[in-house]
Amino acid sequence: MSPLPPPGFPALQGFVLAGQALVGELLRLMAGDVAAAGIDAQRLHQLRQAYIERQWALLNALLAGEPLPQTGGAADDRRFAATAWVSHPVFDYLRRSYLLLAEFLHALAELVPFPDAKSQQRLCFLVRQYVDAMSPANFALTNPEFMQRALETQGESINEGIRHLLDDIARGRITTCDEAAFSLGENVAATPGSVVFENELIQLIQYAPLTRRVARRPLLMVPPCINKFYILDLQAQNSFVRHAVEQGNTVFLVSWRNVSAAQGHLGWDDYVRLGPLAALRAVRAICRGEDVNALGFCVGGTLLASTLAVLAARGEAPVASLTLLTTLLDFSEAGELSLFIDEAALAAREQAIGQGGLLPASELAGVFSALRANDLVWHYVANNYLLGRSPPAFDLLFWNADSTNLPGPFACWYMRHLYHENALREPGRLRMCGVPVDLSAVCLPTYVLAAREDHIVPWHGAYRSAHLLGGPTRFVLGASGHIAGVVNPARRNRRSYWLNPALPAQPNEWLAAATENCGSWWNDWSGWFRQHTGGERAARTALGGSRYPPREPAPGRYVREPA
């Protein structure tokens, strides 16, 4: 079987083919004239000679029946975790030879000079895509696990692998979990509540209280519109929504619509107006004018902070405290997602969908998968198609596969003004809903969480974003990545987080003086949040109100709309 994606995966196939072309150019540099390219010829010669010598040493050791020399590579690389990769000399040679080639190509890519860092990073990213795709673990004839499992199952694993491949081609994406194990409203997105408001873009869910007394101020959560809301309400044991309700809060949550062509005209201002702004008004009306505590996650946090800046420009301050989870406001360090965005790409997008249309969910999913291709693509190519295994049930990956579309005008505005121009950090440069926005005018206590291994919102970028707001800020750095760093249940109390009450200008300076704390950041947030609840009152027995009666049980119908 070929390691290239089948025809149903055009976005990823494009990445791999582009990477293949670039790596081909790099390989040609090995024998060509490099002076015109501005490459350090001596350094290139040293890299090439070292690579050739190490490859010959590997081959000679294999032919002589001697132990193979070490080649580097991550000791915990799960692509080569099976004992057959080490116990059989030929497969051990293939593994080590591949790791040598990967190391050489990455070094070669870094040697190619570019006028700007972004072009260098783009080349390194594409080289990584190609290198990951060409792993011997992705090929039937070079993967010892494929052969071993085929013998153990008397060929049934091959039949199962072909069946999985055909099913995924029909589905248009790679299956990463047992999706039949989960059902919305039953074992994910199952915290009890009701939809109490809706418009063209959102449904607003109010969750039923789980305590006799609740905080006086309600809590509004704004999840990312790029994904479904239930990343914050997975199974009961790892639901942040349920945790907040159990802590004695009246919780409201925005459920973004999975937009279709009918909403393809909506832009950034529409998302502010119909999203957080409409939700805040509804929550305050239901709770009889109480100030609101607000929480935003990822681009939901960007939209929420933008909304608060709009309200500040209008002289309104309905929010008492703000929590931002892995959110960018300053996009100067925006990670590998920014590599997909340049002037030429933006101009093409704006011409195609900038005035109307959709950025399809499949394309967004392909981009996010490419950022972690070994984990989200090639692992499942080997597991599902080569080994004929079905992926296990995993709620995070069930959510990850439930992608959403975005309106073209919204996506283009977001990419140009935030990712490309980084204009939100400059006071007054952007106008939203008719007013100039200034994040420093958002003067309220803020809790900012970043994740140390986040590849979507790098923690340095989140740290710089925290400096743009006008109120006192508590910055917390959690372990793990963009999703697992946030979904870290308090009852399990795993991993750790770092604290430093000071906020120096440089993130590494902050980290050097920070203290590591064992356990979940959820506990730290709960302690901070209690300071901003405004006291207690008896929990309401009914959800909604006379103007906002319950419409349907949570999780509502918007979240059920497929892409």
Q: What percentage of the chain has pLDDT greater than the value 70?
A: 93
Collect all residues with Cβ–Cβ distance below 8 Å to 293 and sequence separation of at least 6: 215, 217, 218, 219, 220, 319, 320, 321, 322, 323, 529, 532, 533
Under a CB-based contact definition with an 8 Å cutoff, are residues 360 and 563 in contact? yes
SS3 for 101? helix
Collect all residues with Cβ–Cβ distance below 8 Å to 398 and sequence separation of at least 6: 177, 179, 181, 182, 188
**Would the pLDDT of 147 be above 80?**
yes
Instruction: Quickly tell me which residue has 């090439």 as its tokens.
Output: 48
Nearest one of 210, 318, 306, 253 to 534, comparing CA atoms: 318
Chain segment 378-410, per-residue pLDDT in tens: 999 999 999 999 999 999 999 999 999 999 999
Instruction: Quickly tell me which residue has 């989960």 as its tokens.
Output: 182
Instruction: Quickly tell me which residue has 């750095």 as its tokens.
Output: 477
What is the rounded CA–CA span in Å between residue 186 and residue 420?
41
Please give the DSSP secondary-structure letter assigned to residue 273: I
CA dihedral 192, 282, 438, 264 (to 10 degrees): 80
What is the rounded CA–CA span in Å between residue 337 and residue 425?
18
Give the DSSP H or E segment for 324: strand 319-325
Tell if the pTM clears 0.85, that is, is over it. yes
Under a CB-based contact definition with an 8 Å cutoff, are residues 124 and 102 in contact? no
Q: What is the pLDDT of residue 117?
A: 84
Collect all residues with Cβ–Cβ distance below 8 Å to 126 and sequence separation of at least 6: 15, 18, 19, 22, 23
What is the rounded CA–CA span in Å between residue 391 and residue 511?
38
Q: What is the pLDDT of residue 32?
A: 53
SS3 for 308? helix
Q: What is the pLDDT of residue 509?
A: 97
Q: What is the pLDDT of residue 70?
A: 80
**Would the pLDDT of 1 be above 70?**
no
Domains of the chain: 10-142 (no CATH), 193-360+405-560 (3.40.50.1820)
> How many CB atoms lie under 10 A from the CB of residue 345?
13
What is the rounded CA–CA span in Å between residue 511 and residue 534?
32
Chain centroid to Cα 73, Å, comes to 25
Token pair in block for residue 235: 């199974």
Q: What is the pLDDT of residue 231?
A: 97
User: What average pLDDT is seen over the chain?
Assistant: 91
pLDDT band at residue 242 using 50, 70 and 90 as cut-offs: very high
**Would the pLDDT of 26 be above 70?**
no
Sheet holding 292-297, edge to edge: 515-518, 496-499, 473-478, 446-451, 319-325, 292-297, 219-222, 251-256, 202-207, 193-198, 552-553
Chain segment 256-293, per-residue pLDDT in tens: 999 999 999 999 999 999 999 999 999 999 999 889 99
pLDDT band at residue 40 using 50, 70 and 90 as cut-offs: confident
**Would the pLDDT of 544 be above 50?**
yes
pLDDT band at residue 33 using 50, 70 and 90 as cut-offs: low
pLDDT band at residue 541 using 50, 70 and 90 as cut-offs: confident
- Marked catalytic residue, from 177, 298, 412, 433: 298
Q: What is the pLDDT of residue 192?
A: 98
Nearest one of 526, 557, 551 to 246, comparing CA atoms: 526
Token pair in block for residue 38: 């501005």
Chain segment 330-375, per-residue pLDDT in tens: 999 999 989 889 899 999 999 999 999 999 999 989 889 989 999 9
What is the rounded CA–CA span in Å between residue 473 and residue 542?
35
What is the rounded average pLDDT of the residues 321-331? 98
Dihedrals phi, psi of 354, to nearest 5 degrees: -65, -25
- Please say if 298 is a catalytic residue: yes
Q: What is the pLDDT of residue 45?
A: 85
Chain segment 413-464, per-residue pLDDT in tens: 999 999 999 999 999 999 999 999 999 999 999 999 999 999 999 999 999 9
Under a CB-based contact definition with an 8 Å cutoff, are residues 443 and 413 in contact? no
Instruction: Quickly tell me which residue has 């933006």 as its tokens.
Output: 346
Beta strands in 319-405 (DSSP E): 319-325, 358-359
Q: What is the pLDDT of residue 3?
A: 39
What is the rounded CA–CA span in Å between residue 281 and residue 218?
12
**Would the pLDDT of 8 be above 50?**
no
Dihedrals phi, psi of 288, to nearest 5 degrees: 60, 45
Under a CB-based contact definition with an 8 Å cutoff, are residues 557 and 202 in contact? no
Collect all residues with Cβ–Cβ distance below 8 Å to 328 and sequence separation of at least 6: 302, 334, 418, 457, 461, 462, 465
SS3 for 18? helix
